[in-house]
Amino acid sequence: MPPTSRPLRKLGFLTIGLFDERDPRRGHESTLEIIELGERLGFDSAWLRHRHLQYGISSPVAVMAAASQRTSRIELGTAVIPLGWENPLRLAEDLATADVLSGGRVNPGVSVGPPMHYDQVKEALYPDTGDAEDFSYERVRRLLDFVRGKSVTDFSGAEGLEATRRKPHIEYSSGRVQPHSPGLGRRMWYGGGSLGSARWAGEQGMNFLTSSVVKAEEADGPGFDFAQIQLSHIRAFRAHHPDGEAARVSQGLVVIPTDSASAAQRAKYEEYAAGRMPRTTSPQGPARLLFAPDIVGTSQEIAERLDAHAAFREVDEVAFALPFTFEHEDYVQILTDMATKLGPALGRRPSD
The CATH number of the domain holding residue 321 is 3.20.20.30
Q: What is the number of domains present in the chain?
A: 1
The helix (run of H) or strand (run of E) holding residue 11 is strand 10-15
Please report whether residue 119 resides in a domain: yes
pLDDT < 50 stretches in the chain? 1-4, 163, 221-222, 352
pLDDT at 155: 83
Please report whether residue 158 resides in a domain: no
Please report whether residue 174 resides in a domain: no
Evaluate whether 310 touches 3 at the Cβ level (below 8 Å).
no
Evaluate whether 315 touches 347 at the Cβ level (below 8 Å).
no
> ω before 80 within 30° of 0 (cis)?
yes
Which domain covers residue 36, as residue numbers? 10-152+179-345
Q: Which residues pair with 190 in a beta bridge?
A: 110, 208
Please report whether residue 3 resides in a domain: no
Task: Give dist(CA 307, CA 6) in Å, integer.
Answer: 10
Task: Give dist(CA 315, CA 336) in Å, integer.
Answer: 22
pLDDT digits over 68-116, tens only?
Answer: 999 999 999 999 999 999 999 999 999 999 999 999 999 999 999 999 9
Please report whether residue 143 resides in a domain: yes
pLDDT at 161: 59
Q: Which residues pair with 23 in a beta bridge?
A: 20
pLDDT digits over 283-314, tens only?
Answer: 999 999 999 999 999 999 999 999 999 999 99
Please report whether residue 100 resides in a domain: yes
pLDDT at 115: 97
Please report whether residue 290 resides in a domain: yes
135-to-84, 113, 141 alpha-carbon distances in Å: 6, 5, 11
